[in-house]
Amino acid sequence: MNLKNSNQQIVHHLLRLACFALLAGRAWQHLFWDAPFRALLWDKELMESLVLFFRGGTWQEYVTSAGADHFIQTSKVIFGIFYAIMALLTLVVGSRQLAKFTPLYILSSVALAFLALLYSKEKFFHAGQFFEYTIQFLLPLFFCYGLSNRIEKKKLLLLMKIAIAFTFSAHGLYAIGFYPQPGVYIDMIINILHLREATAKDFLVVAGVLDFVIAVTIFIPRIAKYFLLYAAIWGGLTAFARGWANFYWAFPLDSLHQNLYETFYRLPHMLIPLAAVLMLYPTVKKQS
């Protein structure tokens, strides 16, 4: 009896878990919290002509109307339901059935890329803000094409490395201060490590430099696995930090509900580098 090396099966499990966590986290966010739809729909320069053409009245009436707010809330719920359905599908779909669901996974990637664009718009179209989500908006495609074996292992690994490089280097741009260091990063470091603000900022700079090191070294064959492992560890720490830094024993369930979804949709930043490490090893067969 021939048994495939368990590495391939583990990679498939990691891709499934990563895709589920991402979609479940985004569903949680959209159904219960906020998403940056207002960044587009309340942009007067971009939307005023279109809104007044279809709606009439004035821009002020539009942005203050209950109808506009209802439309935004409804849009979030629709996206949330879609992400929730895709999360459940990802848990149960077999590799042989994935091909027929390809359009839905492509649509998931498009929706996640649109979400990344909205976040970028909130940050004055910082390219780094958009590319920080590269792993996330490509993950449904990695899962769909990877598990159905419609892409060669080497090509999939290369694409995953590119996504990792973009994600970590974009994160590094904020950490080193190329863009303003986000206060949420600094607060998390202070809350978890109990450092002074100046030390926390220095810590971020070091972490940002290492993010750029990751983006280069994962393409160097002899040392790639070591830096992919570091990327997995660092990606996991930054994901779990969202829940850890904002957890309060006084109201544990509220703390988890308000913050844990951010951990969920960042788990791929750990799981995809880990899957890439396993893909570096050749698939072999054992005889038994």
Read off the tokens for 287.
């005889």
Total-model pTM: 0.93
Residue-level pLDDT at 159 = 98
Residue-level pLDDT at 179 = 95
Residue-level pLDDT at 247 = 87
Tell me how many domains the chain contains: 1
Residue-level pLDDT at 282 = 65
CA distance 175 to 281: 32
CA distance 204 to 197: 11
**Interval 127-156 mean pLDDT:** 96
What pLDDT digit, counting tens, does each position of 33-56 carry? 999 999 999 999 999 999 888 888
How far does the chain reach from its first CA to its final CA, in angstroms?
A: 6
Higher pLDDT, 163 or 183: 163
Handedness of CA 98, 103, 108, 109 (dihedral sign): positive
For the CA atoms of 181, 182, 184, 189, the dihedral, rounded to the nearest 10 degrees, stands at -10
Residue 87's domain spans which residues?
2-287
Over 90: is that where the pLDDT of 139 sits? Answer: yes
What pLDDT digit, counting tens, does each position of 269-287 carry? 999 999 999 999 765 444 4
CA distance 123 to 194: 28
Residue-level pLDDT at 54 = 86
What pLDDT digit, counting tens, does each position of 190-247 carry? 999 999 999 999 999 999 999 999 999 999 999 999 999 999 999 999 999 988 888 8
CA distance 276 to 205: 26
What pLDDT digit, counting tens, does each position of 53-92 carry? 888 889 999 989 998 899 999 999 999 999 999 999 999 9
**Interval 26-37 mean pLDDT:** 97
Which residues have CB under 8 Å from 259's CB, separation 6+?
A: 242, 243, 246, 247
Residue-level pLDDT at 257 = 94
**Among 23-27, 163-167, 180-184, where is mean pLDDT lowest?**
180-184
